[in-house]
Chains A and B, each alone.
Chain A
Amino acid sequence: MNLQNYLRLWSFFAGHKKWIVLSILLSLVLTIMTLVIPTLSANLINEGINKGDTSAIFHYGEQMLIAAIIGCLAFVANTAIAVWAGEYAAHHLRVAEYAKIQTLSHGNIDRFRSSDLLIRLTTDVLTVKNATIQLVLTFPIVPFFLLGTIVLISINMPSILPITFGVLVALALLLLAYLVIVQPKYITKDKRIDEVNHTLREALAGIRVVKAFVRQAHEKEKFGSVAENLRTAATVPQYMLAYITPANTLILYLGITAIYFIGGSQAIAGSGMNIGDVTAAAQYLIFILVPVYLLSIILPLASSADASLVRIFEVLDAVPEIRPPEKPVAVDVGKAQGRVVFDHVSFGYRTADGTAAKPVLSDISFIAEPGQTVGILGATGSGKSTLVSLIPRFYDVTQGRVTIDGVDVRQISLTDLRSIVSICQQEPVLFSGTLRDTVTYGMPGMTDDRMHVIARAADADSFVMNIPDQYDSYVARRGENFSGGQRQRLAIARALARNPKVLILDDSTSACDVVTEAAIQDAIGGLMEKTTRIIIAQRISSVITADRILIMEKGRIIASGNHAELLKTCPEYQEIYSSQLGSVPAAGGAAA
């Protein structure tokens, strides 16, 4: 465990540290009140019951009552502070982490992976929250209780001090055994649980394959063996606990027995302890168990919270890969032309240490003129999407440069750059909200008239107007209540809404049929005549009318030209053409 992580967590409480101090004071009050009760009860027995003095009984009874009530109030108040501290830490960690994530570049996100970031933001924060509550609530009690008990015993009944230490050492050893030997067994158990879940998931996900090849018996055997491993792994720590829990009680009673023997002998002999002391001493011994028990709960919690803090701080300390330019070149977004030039660009995704891995794009050069449509064709993994993601600077080139209207994109402020360039992806991420929210996501407050114009161009207006609530209809998470084609059209509308000077459609009409796709392309051409359009596609029909088509293979442009030129000169293009569309005389004739 690393204290530094907790110090950093502590720094989140800046301006509110007085509450934590108060909490420690309350723990002190609670400890004192708890410890004073057996002393009072010893007095009640000695001076009240033993001497037959009823008023002494009531006197000490009343004091015990007051102590109990003050202790209770302190405990309740401390609980409130602990809960506040836990939620306060959780909220601030969460928001800081979330805000950080929103500034990270694509490269950072790829390396963290979104699913993992989500865990860091939810599960890890929850772990820290629970540990914080427990720590504030109980951690100060441990030393207070230990010290207080020992002080009381050494003042009132020094003769049982050796017994106390004996019990304490024995309990501490058991605690150590629990932390060092038993706790790790739970980690093994968790691993076995993962294995069981993995096997289950695989068998369920592949149920068709299992049934097709009639291998249920094989899967059963596989699952049986991981389940058996889990059973063994789960039994081991429980077997150990079966010793530890009763051993705690045994040690305690051995101590109490010793107290009765030693203290009792003294009382009978009339020297040293009396009967009230003996019963109080037994109670003190039970108190010794409290800090040990608390530690057995807090320490595992604190150590998992420590691991979570490490993961949270990793996010907070991440440096966005894309740095905004220090002295951005002033660009008039409204007057930008949108002439995109790739000048001998090479690119490779960076690894965790920031060095570029093997190149994904090599020596890419081309020009997309304002108002032109450039199509990009190529197999999966040929680098098409990577290429266009360099334009809005989702990633930075490793060599060469990308310019817009002659200015290197790395010199344009990110706000200006991303106002000029709009990109629309194949699997569009739509956020929940209304359809209006969705279309106007990048342009909140857009007029309805404009929205209709935009949506019409994306061929979305017609289906939206057919839904009862029209633009007020609810869009579920990921747009799941709309079909793939509808989602893509909504995403196109969202991209168009910002009136970009450079529009990139990354296979973003793949779920629409050919006729719809053609209509959308024509409408966009009409609406944004001067916008540079870059269209990535799998289907040859998507780019057939482009001014220029780039053919990509393994990160390089291997050919470029319009449809007619490529059909004549480029064997790869001919191959794609014939495999997708066959050799239809009508098409060949039209192209020629």
Chain B
Amino acid sequence: MTDKQGAVRRLIRYLTRYSGKFWAATFLMALFAVFQAILPLIMGTATNDIVAGNMEGLERSVLLLLFFSILMFITGMLGQRIFAAVSQQALCDLRTELFDHMQSLSLNFFDRQPIGQLMSRVTSDIDVIDQFFSNAFQNVMQAVVSIVVITAFMLWLSVRLTILVYAVLVALSIFIWVVSRISKPAFSVLQEHISTLNGYAEEHIEGQKVVLAFMQEGRSVEEFSKVSRDAARAGGKASFTALITLPISITSTNLQSVLLLGIGGVIVVMGRFDLGLLVSFLGLSRGITGPLSHVFMSYSMLMNAIAGAGRVFAILDETPVVADRPGASAMPKVRGDVIFDHVDFAYIPGRTVLLDNSFHAAPGQVFGLCGPTGAGKSTIINILTRYYDIQSGSIAIDGTKIDSVQQDTLRIQIAQVLQEPFLFSDTIMENLRYARAEATDEECIAAAKQAGADGFIMAQPQGYQTFLADGGAGSLSQGQRQMLTIARAMVANPRLLILDEATSNVDTRTEKLIQAGLLQLQQGKTSFIIAHRLATIRHADTILVINKGQIIERGSHAQLMEKQGFYHSMYMSQFRGKLAGITKAA
């Protein structure tokens, strides 16, 4: 409960940041509620005036009605406007804060869940918070003020009749509570059916071609029909319980009127009350059911918002694991001398991924990294760029330990080309410039030429100014996109280069094209190349063979082949099994 209160309080703090506007809006809305409650009172006076035949009084009442209607309009309008401005500003603040914070988090945060999942969670969480800010919070606030004001007026008019009204309201509340006890599980049952249905549909529409190939259309339609019918039944139950509250609350308002008119009428006849007051009371009591049902309706919204806010705040409270030391200096300009000294590392404490690894890469050397999947090749790259901090040992570049400098100043001096070419939805030129904001157009074009990308860029409709929708996913091939990321790395042109499976997703012919660009990129840089296909790293000065988190062999291709060890057998397994086959076939 305190957690929930905490989340609500924290959400509201985003509003109260703009305290002047926030309190102005609150005040105006309170006034609005007061005026709204005053109007039926004046209608009662007017009724009395009519009954008494007091024309002058009636005229005065009518003028008052006019006056307060207009006041009500003005306060309501201003209050809503200011509140809308504040709540949208609060939401915008929350969004940008969340975005900035996520950007600052270390990669371990993004490892925990697929980006798609994180994305859809954040989107829907913000969405329910939006509902809360722009709908529920305002409604509840207004409703509470209205209920308080109206109740106060009613008590002032007649305590007994107020008790009568409240008796009906309590009965209605109990009814709604009971219905919600029924409808809540009904909705969760429905939710289950809906996700079964969506799951089935997703699976079989994605796999429609398989269904077709295996001629299982009939069976699949039959199965879907059953799932759909179940969902419809569950949906019927849930919707009915949710919708039934409307007729019931309308009926309770009617019931209230009947009771007030009946019992109040008798009291008036007995002479203890006048008709005007009864009419006023009637008007007031009608104004209380509306706000009450708003509170009920907003309740589920509020609960959703609390759950969403809890998750959003959990992200906001996350601290980056890789943090700069206080007073860390900038990384001096890198020459490219890399030393790993007895480095141990684990993503999850206790589960060692790298154990006691040491090596030394001199400026300009090309290092190849190979080994089975999961051996720890990419991990070496992740700790060299300080996406993660190591547990023991040290990593030094040009003699400077990398955990002693600001991480941004280190990272900006390392160019990376990754397996999945990632480009932004922007022009080709801006994508190239992404590596170095101050790079000129000429520099970017020169880099593209060096990477061998100029040819196909110029073939695009607007050359370098071509906009890449979806990062070029639809308009460029994987190989072309990879060439752009190589060109981008050339624009940065630092002294350290990392190629992490840069060509493993393209076919051999495309790889040949890219290879030329990659060799250009390696010129004069200390390079680390991870490769799946061993042919890619054959030219490396040193190949590190990694297995189960340890460097088990090192040397040039020729040396390692001669050694007839792990590397040799990995290399030969590309042919094995087939050599016999070929002889047999021939």
Q: What residues on B are CB-neighbors of A257 within 8 Å?
A: 62, 65-66, 69
Q: Is A351 an interface residue (CB 8 A)?
A: no
Tell me if A275 and B47 are in contact (CB < 8 A).
yes
Q: Which of B258-286 contact A (CB under 8 A)?
A: 258, 261-262, 265-266, 268-269, 275, 278-279, 282
B285 to chain A, nearest CB (A): 13
Q: Is A423 an interface residue (CB 8 A)?
A: yes
Q: What residues on A are CB-neighbors of B422 within 8 Å?
A: 205-206, 208-209
Q: Could you give 11 example pairs across A and B, Cβ below 8 Å?
A: A91-B229, A118-B202, A122-B197, A202-B471, A210-B103, A211-B107, A241-B84, A423-B213, A429-B206, A444-B219, A518-B577
Chain A interface residue count, CB cutoff 8 Å, equals 153
Q: Is A114 an interface residue (CB 8 A)?
A: yes
Docked complex Cα distance between A545 and B582 (Å): 6
The listed residue (B89, B122, B221, B229) touching A200 by CB distance below 8 A is B122
B99 to chain A, nearest CB (A): 5
The listed residue (A198, A238, A514, A517) touching B134 by CB distance below 8 A is A238
Tell me if B269 and A57 are in contact (CB < 8 A).
yes
Tell me if B235 and A129 are in contact (CB < 8 A).
yes
**Contact of A247 with B73 at beta-carbon distance under 8 Å, contacts A209-B434, A264-B49, A545-B581 already known:** yes
Q: Is A71 an interface residue (CB 8 A)?
A: yes
**Contact of A214 with B55 at beta-carbon distance under 8 Å, contacts A260-B46, A513-B573 already known:** no
Q: What residues on B are CB-neighbors of A517 within 8 Å?
A: 577
Task: Tell me the number of A-to-B contacts counted with CB atoms below 8 Å.
Answer: 416
Q: What residues on B are CB-neighbors of A253 within 8 Å?
A: 39, 65, 69, 72
Using CB atoms, name the residue of chain B closest to A129.
Answer: B235
Tell me if A246 and B77 are in contact (CB < 8 A).
yes
Q: Is B119 an interface residue (CB 8 A)?
A: yes
Docked complex Cα distance between A246 and B28 (Å): 13
Q: What residues on A are CB-neighbors of B81 within 8 Å?
A: 238-239, 242
| Overall SS of chain A's interface | helix
Tell me if A208 and B418 are in contact (CB < 8 A).
yes
A462 to chain B, nearest CB (A): 17
Tell me if B265 and A231 are in contact (CB < 8 A).
no
Q: Is A327 an interface residue (CB 8 A)?
A: no
Docked complex Cα distance between A469 and B229 (Å): 32
B296 to chain A, nearest CB (A): 17
B372 to chain A, nearest CB (A): 10
The listed residue (B76, B110, B201, B228) touching A249 by CB distance below 8 A is B76
Q: Is A183 an interface residue (CB 8 A)?
A: no
Tell me if A90 and B232 are in contact (CB < 8 A).
yes
Docked complex Cα distance between A273 and B472 (Å): 75
Tell me if B96 and A214 are in contact (CB < 8 A).
no
A181-208 toward B: CB 8 Å interface, digit per residue (1/0)? 0000000000000001110111111111
A276-307 toward B: CB 8 Å interface, digit per residue (1/0)? 00110010000000000000000000000000
| Overall SS of chain B's interface | helix
Binding site for A on B (CB under 8 A): 32, 36, 39, 43, 46-47, 49-51, 53-55, 58-59, 61-62, 65-66, 69-70, 72-73, 76-78, 80-81, 84-85, 88-89, 91-92, 95-96, 99-100, 102-104, 107, 110, 115, 118-119, 122-123, 130, 134, 197-199, 201-217, 219-221, 224-225, 228-229, 231-233, 235-236, 239-240, 243-244, 246-248, 250-251, 254-255, 257-258, 261-262, 265-266, 268-269, 275, 278-279, 282, 385, 387, 408, 411-412, 414-416, 418, 422, 424-425, 434-437, 471, 477-478, 492, 506-512, 533, 535, 538, 573-579, 581-586
Please name 9 further chain A to chain B contacts, defined as beta carbons within 8 Å, in addition to the given A223-B99, A575-B512, A586-B575, sorted by A numbering.
A49-B261, A61-B262, A79-B244, A118-B198, A200-B119, A208-B107, A239-B81, A242-B78, A261-B59
Interface window among A1-9, A94-102, A404-412: A94-102
Tell me if B411 and A212 are in contact (CB < 8 A).
yes
Tell me if B100 and A220 are in contact (CB < 8 A).
yes
Q: Which of A202, A432, A494 is packed against the most chain B CB atoms within 10 Å?
A: A202
Docked complex Cα distance between A129 and B190 (Å): 14
**Contact of A57 with B265 at beta-carbon distance under 8 Å, contacts A246-B77, A279-B279 already known:** yes
Interface window among A40-48, A148-156, A157-165, A166-174: A40-48
Q: What residues on A are CB-neighbors of B585 within 8 Å?
A: 545, 562-563
Tell me if A49 and B278 are in contact (CB < 8 A).
yes
Tell me if B434 and A44 are in contact (CB < 8 A).
no
B474 to chain A, nearest CB (A): 12
Using CB atoms, name the residue of chain A closest to B215.
Answer: A418
Q: Is A14 an interface residue (CB 8 A)?
A: no
Docked complex Cα distance between A64 and B254 (Å): 8
Q: What residues on A are CB-neighbors of B219 within 8 Å?
A: 444
Q: Is A76 an interface residue (CB 8 A)?
A: yes
**Contact of A590 with B583 at beta-carbon distance under 8 Å, contacts A220-B103, A257-B69, A379-B508 already known:** yes
B374 to chain A, nearest CB (A): 11
Tell me if A282 and B43 are in contact (CB < 8 A).
yes
Docked complex Cα distance between A442 and B436 (Å): 55
**Contact of A581 with B574 at beta-carbon distance under 8 Å, contacts A37-B254, A57-B269, A205-B422 already known:** yes
Docked complex Cα distance between A76 and B385 (Å): 66
Docked complex Cα distance between A202 and B422 (Å): 9
Q: Is A319 an interface residue (CB 8 A)?
A: no
Docked complex Cα distance between A490 and B51 (Å): 89
Q: What residues on A are CB-neighbors of B51 within 8 Å?
A: 50, 275
Tell me if B62 and A50 are in contact (CB < 8 A).
no
The listed residue (B84, B95, B240, B266) touching A80 by CB distance below 8 A is B240
Tell me if B77 and A242 are in contact (CB < 8 A).
yes
A174 to chain B, nearest CB (A): 12
Q: What residues on A are CB-neighbors of B269 within 8 Å?
A: 48-49, 52-54, 57
